[in-house]
């Protein structure tokens, strides 16, 4: 409990550091950005820490983090002293602080309580996440070294891990605890950020006499973004209790939940009847995983799945930052002065801060930088277009944003120079399209809620006409681009046929939604109505889904599941944008349904609103079935023992393995290289020769010492290193050579070979633990005759290469 409270207090302290800058940048929001102060404060500490570590000014370890926090705190005090506070501003800010701190604390403690029932850092890619967290915490130099590739810098977007490291080091908790509390902090910071953004959008969208219902928007945003899940959960529950209609399941494309016919096992449930549940919720192991794979050949993850699973991935840790970026764009849209070069020159700190925020998007999750930078540019252009002709508006916005772009590149240059992307270009998607039923199951709740803006903020036919034509580019330009691109590659006929009738329907619906909401945003902007930014967010959300149906980013998965990552990353962004916009729509519908008196010009008729409220409410309720059922499944009905240390499971299941892990962490230098099993499995064949029987190492316990301690090992997860560094013949050969060399240190009978391998990699330590005993058939070399045994626990040992070894005369 001490670790939980210490981390919570450290988070709130970071919020205090970010608050003065938030009050300046986000003054136009009703809470003056109080709900976004924590991610801003975290950035204010993390970026100086990163830069000062790169130039070797700050020491590694907790002291460096505390110094960076002190510097950021001094900067915050300076900003605060130079703010011209008005009494009304102080009142708004105080209310915002109380709300933000309350929401953050409640969300942090609630998620921590949930996570305590499943704290294990094991399985999926959680060992990789712990590896990067430990790398940022323990690396003796920056950019940090890759613990799974000794001697090489990390080639990944690791800023989120660095920020979680700040929240780990400042309160002084172990990384295995900081991992889980980092998830809680991400969840809580997203919730408080959503309150800030949705509250602003709700107040702007509603007319003055209905503005008290703007409070619906932040609550709805938290529900739609962080809690609602795939509608497939309703089908999962019915199938678990054997209450299903085969035609209905086949119509919705969830026939994989139906029992298998005799003699078949593909695309159906092969378990025995009645085995899927022993309670009111499905008890089948991880049934909720299927909710993130509804659309074949893709990953369609959403935030409630992410926080349920517990992978500390960049796209998850980026949620508070992208919410902050959204808030920045909204604040610029509501600004009262032109966003031009004159403004950038008069306030040079502003482009620098914008560059720090939007440059961090790339460093934290590279997929986000294009989408949210486009949102920023759209806000700047829209702001200017209300004050000057369109051409001047474009030129002014470009001049205002150019210094911010330069700052984004310059501030994060040390990362750009060591980052190697797996992406290799944009291509037209010419495969099977998404079935309408699958799209509804996956995106129906936030999508239809966002589409309700067309009802909640419909401006009238006479006003919608011209903007509808002007907004046509939203749907037409991407489609024309796809046609031209596919035709140029000779794939147009193939792509048109492969998409299928259902795929074309989905594409048309998504394009129409993006077009309609784009027209709505443009209309409200022209007539100066407050729903313009909410409609723009909805249009952008649908445009992302529409674009993912037309194009893909070519990456390492192109040959097998070509659009896996494209749909994954773009739909995750779309979920956030649609959820926020949908929350504003719900507040408008609620306001219209309960407001008495003459009809408000910005609200639908009460009878229409009441008619829409019931289906929207039922839809949201159906979306909440996913987290309700999944949480009970994940925690086994809240019956499991609780802990917050992600390695407590290891201490309980294999105390000796835990002991050597702790010894390595406590007794080896942070830059040490440790030889451990590659993860490849070897056996002795019939002829008595050692033979490799399993070359797979990814998603296993390979590299587990490096992951749990941050110490380097010559090679960890092979395929992941290929993903991070590129699938080239040279990379494959280099990584295979490392695997062969490390394996030989356990398979050889020659002491000279072992010592040679250790010296080649600069390794001082060699581990013989659970994985080594399981992966190699033995007998091992007699390490005690030429290495120093420095630790022993049960059958497991840690050896060190001696500095000097006297040699007997012949």
Domain assignment present for 424: no
Whether 637 maps to a domain, the answer reads no
Distance, CA of 289 to CA of 309 (rounded, Å) = 8
Asked whether residue 525 is assigned to any structural domain, the reply reads yes
In a domain, 481, yes or no: yes
What pLDDT was estimated at residue 464? 63
- Residue 189: CB partners within 8 Å, gap ≥ 6? 11, 38, 39, 42, 104, 319, 320, 323
The closest alpha carbon to 134, from 710, 661, 713, 702, belongs to 710
pLDDT digits (tens, 9 = 90+) for 552-610: 999 888 888 999 999 999 999 999 999 999 999 999 999 888 876 444 445 667 778 88
Residue 220 lies in a domain: yes
pLDDT in tens, 748-788: 989 999 999 999 999 999 999 999 999 999 789 999 999 99
380 with 518, same domain: the answer is no
How many domains does the structure of the chain reveal?
4
Most confident of the following: 450-459, 468-477, 543-552: 543-552
Q: Over 100-125, what HEC string results?
A: HHHHHHHHHHHHHHHHCCCCCCCCCC
User: What is the chain's alpha carbon radius of gyration, rounded to the nearest angstrom?
Assistant: 28
Shared domain for 551 and 501, answered yes or no, is yes
Pairing of strands 765-768, 674-675: parallel
Domain end, chosen from 593, 625, 657, is at: 625
Residues 291 and 329 grouped into a single domain:
no
Q: How many CB atoms lie within 10 A of CB 703?
A: 30
For residue 783, list its beta bridge partners.
none
Q: Which domain holds residue 343?
A: 2-226+313-416
Query: Of 287, 306, 325, which residue constitutes the final position of a domain?
Result: 306
- 300 and 353 fall within a common domain: no
C-alpha angle 359-365-366 in degrees, rounded to nearest 5: 65
Angle between helix 532-550 and 564-594 (nearest 10): 150
Per-residue pLDDT, averaged over 435-440, amounts to: 97
Do 247 and 137 share a structural domain?
no
Residues 203 and 278 in one domain: no
- Going by pLDDT thresholds of 50, 70 and 90, the confidence category of residue 635 is very high
Secondary structure (3-state) at 715: coil
CA dihedral 442, 445, 449, 450 (to 10 degrees): -20
What are 93's two structure tokens? 């800010």
d(CA 62, CA 51): 16
Strand, coil or helix: 397: helix
Average pLDDT over residues 684-695: 88
Q: Are residues 208 and 242 in the same domain?
A: no
* CA-based nearest residue to 28, from 473, 339, 332, 257: 332
* CA-based nearest residue to 196, from 77, 334, 28: 28
Question: How far apart, in whole angstroms, are the C-alpha atoms of residue 160 and residue 143?
Answer: 14
Residue 714 domain flag:
yes
Which pair of structure tokens corresponds to residue 791? 């630790």
Residue 170 has pLDDT above 60, yes or no: yes
One domain, residues 385 and 437: no
Classify 367 as helix, strand or coil: helix
pLDDT class of 440 with cuts at 50, 70, 90: very high
Residues 343 and 293 in one domain: no
Please give the span between the terminal C-alpha atoms of the chain, in angstroms, as a whole number: 62
Q: What is the pTM of this model?
A: 0.95
Of the listed ranges 261-265, 294-298, 304-308, 355-359, the least confidently predicted one is 261-265
Euclidean distance between CA atoms 417 and 182, whole angstroms: 27
- Distance CA(219)–CA(376), nearest Å, equals 25
The whole-chain average pLDDT of the chain stands at 92
**Mean pLDDT, residues 311-315:** 96
Residue 266: pLDDT over 90:
no
With 0-12 CB in 10 A as exposed, 13-18 as middle and 19+ as buried, what is 265? exposed
Do 726 and 753 lie in one domain? The reply is yes
Do residues 703 and 742 both lie within one domain? Answer: yes
| Structure-derived torsion over alpha carbons of residues 452, 455, 460, 464, reported in degrees to the nearest 10 | 10
Indicate whether 632 belongs to any domain: no
pLDDT of residue 208: 80
Closest CA to 281 of 642, 634, 641: 634
Domain boundary among 286, 306, 326: 306
Tokens 């409640």 belong to residue: 106
- 408 and 267 belong to one structural domain: no
Domain annotation covers residue 114: yes
């Amino acid at each position: 409990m001490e670790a939980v409270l210490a981390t919570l207090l450290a988070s709130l302290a970071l919020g205090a550091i970010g608050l003065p800058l938030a009050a300046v940048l986000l003054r136009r929001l009703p809470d003056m950005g109080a709900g976004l102060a924590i991610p801003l404060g975290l950035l204010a500490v993390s970026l100086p820490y990163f830069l000062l570590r790169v130039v070797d000014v700050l020491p590694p370890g907790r002291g460096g983090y505390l110094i960076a926090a002190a510097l950021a705190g001094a900067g915050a005090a300076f900003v605060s002293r130079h703010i011209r506070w008005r009494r009304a501003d102080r009142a708004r800010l105080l209310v915002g602080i109380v709300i933000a701190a309350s929401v953050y604390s409640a969300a942090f403690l609630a998620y921590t309580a949930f996570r305590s029932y499943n704290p294990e850092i094991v399985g999926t890619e959680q060992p990789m996440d712990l590896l990067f967290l430990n790398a940022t915490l323990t690396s003796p130099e920056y950019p940090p070294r890759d613990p799974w590739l000794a001697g090489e810098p990390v080639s990944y977007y690791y800023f989120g891990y660095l920020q979680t490291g700040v929240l780990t080091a400042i309160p002084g908790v172990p990384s295995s605890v900081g991992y889980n509390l980092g998830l809680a902090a991400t969840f809580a910071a997203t919730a408080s950020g959503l309150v800030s953004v949705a509250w602003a959008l709700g107040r702007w969208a509603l007319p003055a006499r209905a503005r008290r219902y703007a409070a619906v928007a932040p609550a709805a945003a938290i529900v739609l973004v962080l809690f609602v899940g795939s509608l497939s959960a309703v089908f999962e529950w019915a199938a678990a209790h054997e209450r299903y209609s085969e035609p209905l399941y086949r119509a919705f494309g969830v026939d994989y939940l139906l029992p298998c016919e005799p003699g078949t096992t593909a695309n159906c449930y092969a378990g025995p009847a009645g085995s899927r549940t022993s309670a009111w919720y499905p008890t089948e192991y991880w049934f909720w995983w299927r909710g993130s794979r509804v659309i074949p050949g893709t990953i369609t993850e959403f935030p409630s799945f992410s926080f349920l699973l517990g992978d500390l991935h960049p796209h998850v840790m980026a949620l508070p930052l992208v919410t902050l970026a959204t808030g920045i764009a909204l604040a610029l849209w509501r600004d009262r002065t032109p966003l031009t070069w004159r403004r950038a020159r008069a306030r040079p700190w502003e482009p620098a801060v914008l560059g720090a925020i939007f440059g961090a998007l790339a460093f934290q999750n590279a997929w986000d930088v294009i989408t949210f930078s486009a949102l920023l540019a759209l806000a700047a252009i829209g702001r200017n277009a209300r004050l000057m002709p369109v051409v001047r508006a474009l030129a002014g916005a470009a001049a205002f944003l150019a210094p911010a772009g330069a700052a984004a590149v310059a501030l994060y240059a040390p990362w750009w120079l060591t980052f190697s992307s797996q992406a290799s270009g944009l291509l037209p998607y010419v495969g099977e399209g998404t079935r309408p039923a699958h799209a509804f199951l996956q995106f129906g709740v936030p999508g239809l809620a966002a589409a309700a803006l067309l009802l909640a903020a419909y401006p009238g036919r006479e006003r919608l006409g011209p903007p509808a034509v002007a907004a046509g580019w939203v749907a037409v330009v991407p489609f024309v681009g796809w046609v031209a691109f596919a035709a140029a590659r000779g794939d147009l006929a193939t792509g048109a046929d492969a998409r299928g009738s259902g795929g074309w329907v989905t594409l048309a619906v998504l394009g129409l939604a993006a077009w309609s909401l784009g027209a709505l945003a443009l209309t409200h902007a022209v007539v100066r109505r407050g729903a313009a930014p909410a409609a723009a967010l909805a249009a952008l959300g649908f445009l992302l889904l529409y674009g993912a149906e037309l194009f893909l980013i070519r990456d390492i998965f192109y040959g097998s599941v070509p659009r896996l990552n494209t749909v994954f990353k773009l739909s995750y962004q779309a979920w956030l944008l649609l959820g926020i916009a949908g929350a504003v729509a719900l507040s408008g519908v609620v306001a219209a349904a309960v407001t008495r008196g003459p009809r408000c010009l910005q609200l639908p008729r009460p009878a229409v609103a009441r008619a829409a409220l019931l289906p929207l409410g039922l839809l949201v309720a159906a979306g909440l079935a996913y987290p309700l059922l999944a949480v009970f499944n994940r925690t086994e009905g809240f019956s499991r023992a609780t802990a917050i240390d992600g390695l407590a499971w290891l201490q309980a299941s294999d105390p000796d393995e835990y002991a050597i892990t702790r010894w390595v962490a406590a007794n080896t230098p942070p830059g040490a290289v440790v030889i451990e099993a590659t993860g490849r499995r070897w056996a002795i064949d019939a002829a008595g020769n050692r033979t490799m029987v399993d070359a797979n190492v990814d998603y296993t316990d390979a590299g587990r010492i490096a992951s749990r301690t941050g110490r380097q090992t010559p090679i960890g997860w092979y395929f992941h290193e290929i993903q991070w560094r590129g699938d080239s013949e040279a990379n494959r050969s280099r990584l295979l050579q490392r695997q062969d060399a490390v394996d030989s240190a356990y398979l050889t009978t020659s002491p000279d070979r072992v010592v040679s391998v250790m010296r080649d990699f600069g390794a001082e330590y060699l581990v013989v633990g659970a994985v080594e005993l399981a992966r190699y058939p033995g007998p091992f070399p007699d390490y005690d005759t030429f290495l120093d045994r420095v630790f022993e626990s049960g059958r497991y040992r840690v050896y060190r290469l001696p500095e000097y070894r006297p040699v007997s005369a012949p």
